A = this chain, B = another copy of it.
């Protein structure tokens, strides 16, 4: 089962495609033309589709660093004295990341409601839900968040805010304002107004 290491040119092309995709997605949103990404990377379309069979696979690869950082951040926030503040901060970090790339929210929300393991993005998505759940139940058990909402609802809601703010002149600002409404609706303490420490750009 020990697959032998990939050929050097394969690995090179993989990285090239990833790098190109990163800037293409940033420039034109996650709907950027895949053939174009291949062309810009100096490879044929076939090569792209071999490495990344679906758009979601490519997006997953592009976002994975960011997501790992996100999960780590959640771990750190789990030690925050106030569970409510932690949850609020977490959602704000999430949103500021998601706002950095047009279409990310929509892609993640779509991945969330597709059959299990259907796409690599789904895994990323599941990871996000998992850490969110940890923070949420902690807040709920502390009586700092209403109980009739689950993590998936919350992530969906966060993505919804991301989508809503996406086409605005100032996505992050608007997203933050809308998020404030939701945090309030969750019953969180007055902790929604604090600015972020330093949103890790992906």
Listed stretches A17-25, A133-141, A173-181; interface member: A173-181
Chain B residue contacts of A162, Cβ below 8 A? 160
For this chain, the copies found in one complex come to 2
Q: Is A3 an interface residue (CB 8 A)?
A: no
Which of B113, B146, B161, B167 is the one whose CB lies under 8 Å from A157?
A: B161
Say whether B182 contacts A153, CB under 8 Å.
Answer: no
How far is A164 from B164 in the complex, measured between Cα atoms in Å?
11
Within 8 A of B (CB), among A104-121: 106, 109-110, 112-114
Interface of A is mostly: helix
Q: How far is the CA of A187 from the CA of B183 in the complex (A)?
A: 12
Residues of B within 8 A of A181 (CB): 146, 149, 153, 157, 182, 185-186
A163 interfacial by beta-carbon distance below 8 Å: yes
Q: Is the CB of A109 within 8 A of B184?
A: no
Interface string of A152-176 (1 = CB under 8 A from B): 0100110111111101100000100
Identify A163's interface contact among B109, B167, B180, CB under 8 A.
B109
Report how far A160 CA is from B162 CA in the complex, Å: 8
